[in-house]
Amino acid sequence: MKRRDFLKVTGTFFVTASLGGIPGCGDNIGSQPDGSVPTGTFTFPHGVASGDPRPTSVVLWTRCVNSDDATSAIPVTVEVASDADFANIVAHQEVSAGPDADFTVRVVVSGLTAATSYHYRFRVGTATIAGQTRTAPAADANVPVNFAWVSCQDFTAGTYGAYKQMVADDEARAEADRIQFVVHLGDFIYETAGPGYHLPLDDDFQPITDLKNPDGTPRQVAAFPSGGGDIGAEGKFARTVDDYRHLYKTFLADPDLQAARARWPFIYTWDDHEFSNDCWQSQANYVETDTDDEGAQTRKYAANQAWFDYIPVQLTGAPDNPQAKDFTPTTVHDAMFTAPNADNFVDEPNNAAAVGSITIYRSFRFGQHLELVMTDERSYRSDHAIPEDMIAGNQLFFDPRNAIPVDLLNILDAGNTVPGGPPAMVSVPGAGSVPNPRANVPAGTLLGKPQKQWFLDTMKASTATWKVWGNEVPLARVLIVDPLARLSRVMSADAWDGYPSERREITKYFADQNIANVVVITGDIHAQFAAVIPADYDAAALDPIAVELTTAGIASNSLFSFYEGASRAFAGTNLRKILTYDASASGGSKFVENMNMLVLHGQASALRMASGGTLEQALAERVTINDTVKYADTNSQGYGLLSVTADQVTGALVTINRPVMQSTTAPGVKRTASFTIPKDNPGGMTGPEITGEKPFPLT
């Protein structure tokens, strides 16, 4: 391939490396093919990034700005070298940063050597910016694989010191133990803006209103270009592609996030906040009407486009992933939703066009021992099982997504597949019986039929020792017994707990097809959890089929803080006590994280501790409501680490010190919980082994 030739497809440039090196390229760095140098004032304000590492290819990304010309395309030179000094350049190409992609550049570099570190740089005129990346090992390589996973980086809920800690710790490791790539499980951005939105919390769980950027300016998301949609007093939400691009530019201005993306290749999927909180298909949670079935197809389409602009992925043409597809421009309008089809997808043309504008689920192979399977759990999922109007005015419900009675949810999620036929009426606690709103619809789905079939086929066909599932929302069942209503509730109905029918279908498939050594890595919930996943939660014997490790958010307020805030309305009651109590008079915490006790050991143990009992007395009253959950750290921010070998997987859930405030130094690690998963024995997972301060109730 001639070194100045390239193929441009939907905003992506393709470059083939020359393994023998390309001599003489350093003389015209930043120049155009005719040797001239572009004029203007050029910067790369949002850093560089690489993504989707494969044995012979990787994606490179940057954004270039000309402050003297905001409309014309910018000729940018990209170079890849085998050394930090760029003495041995293996790829050199002129590409173009244009307004259609908001002046971002995505370059797929192929022809690289497996399991090899590379340095790359972008340059225009005298402006330059550089990063490093690494290719995946070949599929037949018998090598260990080390990686990190992250999620939930709310810009206004704290700064990104977690990334600073991750970089600092990695620099201190031996070369063989260093992180090779990072998996991002979504919520890269949050779709809302406002002066008081999602502020970080202090030690009394009160908003910190003076959060600052490194330059001393307030850490806020500025007004949306379109003005945004109105959420009332809480703020605004993104509506247009320029609004969503504005969010990516705001978040990517953070130096710690830039440092992490410049150091490691990332593999991405999205969760809800890249579009809209608790979204499904092109249905948004924030609407400007009171009509529940009002679609937000243009917003979903805009969110897809902005994500593709700013996230370095290879979709169309990705090796072994023909189902993946780059963002493709089309025509989309907002329209009322129609009823879902038999596969629980809304066939309304604009919904289909918005969702179908990009396909991001895909898989990656890293040597003999790791298959990484990344799913999209928003674009194809069905509506949540509990309709908002069902719980309106019922004081036993917190909201439609959290702390939902499990028996009610299971019936509604099953839809028309309830054994013996769906009941025409369902019992709603505190409200008697009401007509069943889901008697004539299919069982709920998180993956959608085509993706689910691809996922199951991919997991079954993989010859890797370990199958790691990049899963956005928690798979494990986590129940809470409400001491007021005496009900068992699922903690989050937006997670797999809200879609138990499909979860059972998947886990039983793993068991029936002998798909072994499955490790699920998860984010979303703003807490650290470890759990063994059974083939069927409702079976008499909970036979282990997989292990799930869930990491807390990079910078989002914790799960515990959410429930603590909600429980203030129940001060003095047992409901608040099982979540938190004040032990400061006896030298303990003002906000004991009794929610950990509740999750691990049940209501009676939590109440015993809140009533002045000893830990020994509390544990004597433990119940097995969540006996598959092995670890809970509900008040945390941090990330996860995974090391995969032929014989075992070692996982670490790293909790950093809070609050996450900007500093010239890393915030420090509060604790690390380590787990070991032996091959062919998910039930034999050991841990947690705690380094640092142990979370309550561990001692």
Task: Specify the pLDDT at position 486.
Answer: 77
CA dist., res. 300 & res. 125, Å (int): 37
In the chain, where does the domain assigned CATH 3.60.21.70 lie?
145-382+442-558+636-692
Between 699 and 611, where is the model more confident? 611
In the chain, where does the domain assigned CATH 2.60.40.380 lie?
7-134
Cis before 678 (ω within 30): no
Q: Decide: 48 and 78 in contact? Cβ < 8 Å.
A: no
The rounded mean pLDDT for the chain is: 92
Cis before 207 (ω within 30): no
The residue-averaged pLDDT of 236-247 equals 96
* DSSP per position, 187-199: -SS-SEE-TTSS-
**Residue 95 contacts by C-beta under 8 Å, 6 or more apart in sequence?**
6, 13, 75, 76, 77, 78, 105, 107
CA dist., res. 237 & res. 287, Å (int): 9
CATH number corresponding to 7-134: 2.60.40.380
Helix, strand, coil: what percent of the chain each, to 5?
20, 30, 50
The whole-model pTM stands at: 0.96
Q: What digits encode the pLDDT tens for the residues 426-469?
A: 988 777 888 899 999 999 999 999 999 999 999 999 999 999 99
Tokens 């690489």 label which residue? 50
Q: What digits encode the pLDDT tens for the residues 491-516?
A: 999 999 999 999 999 999 999 999 99
Tokens 């390589």 label which residue? 141
CA dist., res. 126 & res. 602, Å (int): 63
CA dist., res. 344 & res. 505, Å (int): 16
Give the 3-state DSSP-derived string for 562-615, with helices as H, strands as E and coil as C. HHHHHHHHHCCCHHHHCCCCCCHHHCCCCCCCHHHHHHHHCHHHHHHHHCCCCH
Q: Decide: 488 and 408 in contact? Cβ < 8 Å.
A: no
CA dist., res. 235 & res. 232, Å (int): 6
Q: What digits encode the pLDDT tens for the residues 390-423?
A: 877 777 777 788 888 999 999 999 999 999 999 9
**What class is the 145-382+442-558+636-692 domain?**
alpha beta
Both tokens assigned to 346: 């809304």
Q: Decide: 593 and 560 in contact? Cβ < 8 Å.
A: yes
Q: What digits encode the pLDDT tens for the residues 56-90?
A: 999 999 999 999 999 999 999 999 999 999 999 99
Q: What digits encode the pLDDT tens for the residues 291-314?
A: 444 579 999 999 999 999 999 999
